[in-house]
Amino acid sequence: MPKPLNWTRRAVLRLAWGGIIAASALTIEPLVKYLTSKEDRLGSPLVEYSKPLNVNSDWQTTAKERVWVKEDSLGVMAIVATCTHLGCEVHYYPEKKEWLCPCHASIYDIEGRPISGPAPKALPRVAVERKPDGTLIINTSKQVEMGTRL
């Protein structure tokens, strides 16, 4: 004979308390992650890049703040790979010499000028400076004209 269950109101409420405490414990980890997130901290607009650049090399990524750099016979330039349509990160395809936005298929030519898709403007060029030791300092908060070189 199984023992008859004795579910009094008091027993059910006690069980409910346990459930509430258990559910509360489950929120601790998400709360800690949420409160300790540094994702919205304002980064410095300055990006350093110390690898060597060859004249007439193709675009090289600095892997920071979406900045890419390139050197031609006139000097060094930097571009920010953020689509001028809705701000997705665009990717450079060296074999096609084109920038492609994965979100709405905007295509830019090698200089970052839009050639198809919804993008209204060219990819932004930003100011480049060189420290005495040769490290490039790219200031992403300072936009420059497309022809500007260091």
Residue 14 C-beta: closest distance to other proteins, Å: 18
Residue 59 C-beta: closest distance to other proteins, Å: 26
| Comparison of 4 and 30: residue with beta carbon closer to other proteins | 30
| Comparison of 39 and 133: residue with beta carbon closer to other proteins | 39
Residue 81 C-beta: closest distance to other proteins, Å: 18
| Comparison of 55 and 86: residue with beta carbon closer to other proteins | 86
List Cβ neighbours of 88 (8 Å cut-off, separation of 6 or more): 82, 101, 102, 103, 104
Residue 103 C-beta: closest distance to other proteins, Å: 13
| Comparison of 41 and 51: residue with beta carbon closer to other proteins | 41
Rounded Cα gap, residues 44 and 54, in angstroms: 27
Residue 69 C-beta: closest distance to other proteins, Å: 26
| Comparison of 15 and 32: residue with beta carbon closer to other proteins | 32
Rounded Cα gap, residues 61 and 53, in angstroms: 11
Looking at residue 112, its amino acid is G
Q: Which residues bind other proteins (CB under 8 A)?
A: 30-31, 33-35, 37, 39-40
Q: In what order do the strands lie in the sheet with 46-49?
A: 46-49, 136-144, 125-130, 75-80, 67-72, 60-61
Rounded Cα gap, residues 44 and 105, in angstroms: 30
Q: What is the CA radius of gyration of the chain?
A: 27
